[in-house]
Amino acid sequence: MIISGVAEMKAQGELLAAQLKIGDVILLSGPLGAGKTAFTQGIATFLGIAGVTSPTFVITRIHEAGSKAIPLVHIDAYRLQGSDGSALFDDLDLIDHIERSITVVEWGEGLVDRIADQYLEIQLAHTAGEDARELTWQGHGERWNGFSL
């Protein structure tokens, strides 16, 4: 699927959020500037949560429930990649939050399966167009079999 701009990326996040339930984990992968945080902001908008920004420097942000009464856990695992990253990821101690929230993990390839058996992986990629992005997805586990946006 081709996304043409930030507004459409956020709209896709909102469409996905309408299908999410407590305990769901979403893995967003893609290069810098691909739209991972914009997509997460769309999820947050649907949940009635404002002020979502990239958690790059703090690694994780836990947003209390908005109008839909579902909290959002937003993790940026970029700085956790590498030889000791999995240990640091485990030290975040997020399991209790994940079970009662929707969790979005940016840059979590190779890490997210440490916190969830089932998750939806969404890949965002730059395309030839300046603002266009390609969005693809792959389900992991029974919850996501046959999923489509």
What's the confidence (pLDDT) of residue 86?
55
The predicted pLDDT at position 22 comes to 93
pLDDT of residue 66: 66
pLDDT of residue 57: 59
Q: Which domains does the chain possess? A: 2-140 (3.40.50.300)
pLDDT, position 132: 84
Model confidence over 111-132: pLDDT tens digits?
787 778 899 999 999 887 778 8
Spans of the chain below 50 pLDDT: 85
DSSP 143: G
- The burial of 110, by beta-carbon neighbours within 10 Å (0-12 exposed, 13-18 middle, 19 or more buried), is given as middle
